[in-house]
Amino acid sequence: MPNVTVRGPVAPHTAEALDPVFTVAGLSVFYGEYEAVREVDLTIGNREITAMIGPSGCGKSTVLRCFNRMNDLIPGARAAGKIMYHGEDLYGAHVDPIEVRRRIGMVFQKPNPFPKSIYDNIAYGPRVNGMKGKMDDLVEEALTQAALWDEVKDKLKQNALSLSGGQQQRLCIARAIAVKPEVILMDEPCSALDPIATTKIEDLMQELSRDYTIVIVTHNMQQAARVSNRTAFFTADVDERGERHGRLVEFDETSRIFTNPTDKRTEDYITGRFG
């Protein structure tokens, strides 16, 4: 029964508008024997912001972590189905996860600057990737793009941990930008931040979506409504053994998801009746 709602509404009004970066088909993610996410089909559009929303434990972060193969790091994690990145299978045998992560950056829930100077935080990615060019310029460019340059330009040698939480998160965004990725994945990037810092990050996302494809996981529906072009709504089904399996319920333009959802569960969620 749910399969119909998963596959049905996706195609019609997205196919023509989407210039796909990722095409996800029948993606299931397992942790050992446990199937955390079941049969997800999704398309991520180029230079768009795609939001993934849904209640806790619905697998949205799990799906996000497949896009840069961060799930590989969890022992026993396995992905079935296909994620095509510009037509290339992300989980293909010849694909190097290191190279994947260089092109597909990630920003985490809790700001995680390295215990080094602000400068070295930004320079780290380019250095490990052996990028050429003047490092000072690279650092300035990344910090400027992340709207942090003016706040930190006089203290680049200071430890990054001395920055405020919001600044740290923008530093992490700058750090991701510095390796010149095509896609930036954001896993609840504002959940540890205050409202003012959140607004800054949201403005920054809008700014960045001109150059980058952004996928954001968020608990905050208003945030998804404010920033994203398209929204994917996930929920968890409980099977007969009491195990929760995340699945995609509906994927559509954000305006449509929030004003005229096709699925009853989406409507219930966005109107605050559950989750």
Partner 1 sequence: MAVLSTPRSAVQLASKGQPLREHLFRIALIASLAIAFVFLLALLSYVLIEGWPRLDSRLWENMPSVRNPDIAGAQSAITGTLWVISITALLTLPTGIAAAIYLEEYADRDRWWNRVIELNIQNLAAIPSIVYGILGLGIIARTFGLGFSVITASITLGLLVLPIVIIASREAIRAVPPSIREGSLALGATQWQTISRQVLPASIPGIATGSILALSRAIGEAAPLLMLGAVSFIRFNPDGVFASYTVLPIQIFNWISQSREGFHILASAAIVILLVILLLMNSAAIWLRNRYQKRW
Contact between 218 and 9 (Cβ < 8 Å): no
CB nearer partner 1, residue 167 or residue 235: 167
Least separation in angstroms between residue 153's CB and partner 1 is 22
Q: Are 62 and 27 in contact (CB under 8 A)?
A: no
* 120 neighbors 114 (Cβ within 8 angstroms): yes
Q: Which is nearer to partner 1, 9 or 125 (CB)?
A: 125
Q: Residue 175, interface with partner 1 (CB under 8 A)?
A: yes
Among 21, 172, 227, 232, indicate the residue that binds partner 1 (CB under 8 A). Answer: 172
Helix (H, G, I), strand (E, B) or coil at 255: helix
Question: With binding defined as CB under 8 A, does residue 180 bind partner 1?
Answer: no
CB atoms within 10 A of CB 161: 13
Q: According to CB under 8 A, which one of 88, 99, 207, 239 is a site residue for partner 1?
A: 99
CB of 84 to partner 1, least distance (A): 20
Binding mask 101-120 for partner 1 (x = CB under 8 A): xxx-xx-x-x-xxxx-----
Q: How far is the CB of 180 from partner 1 (least distance, A)?
A: 11
Least Å from the CB of residue 178 to partner 1? 8
Distance CA 40, CA 67 (A): 13
Out of 9, 20, 125, 189, name the contact with partner 1 by CB under 8 A. 125
Q: How far is the CB of 173 from partner 1 (least distance, A)?
A: 12
Contact of 102 with 128, CB cutoff 8 Å: no
Shortest spacing between CB 249 and partner 1, in angstroms: 28
**74 in contact with partner 1 (CB under 8 A):** no
Burial class from Cβ neighbours inside 10 Å (0-12, 13-18, 19+) for residue 135 reads: middle
Among 1, 73, 93, 196, binds partner 1 (CB under 8 A): 73
Does residue number 235 form part of the binding site for partner 1 (CB under 8 A)? no
- Per-residue three-class SS string for 181-246: CCEEEEECCCCCCCHHHHHHHHHHHHHHCCCCEEEEECCCHHHHHHHCCEEEEEEEEECCCCCEEE
- Of the two residues 168 and 198, which places its CB atom closer to partner 1 in the complex? 168
Residue 68 sits in the site that holds partner 1 (CB under 8 A): yes
Cα gap 275→235, rounded to integer Å? 9
The residues, ordered by sequence, that sit 6+ positions from 81 with a Cβ below 8 Å of its Cβ are 24, 25, 26, 27, 28, 39, 40
DSSP code of 17? T
30 is a contact residue toward partner 1 (CB under 8 A): no
Which residue ranges make up the site for partner 1 (CB under 8 A)? 68, 70, 73, 75, 98-99, 101-103, 105-106, 108, 110, 112-115, 124-125, 128-129, 161, 172, 175-176, 179
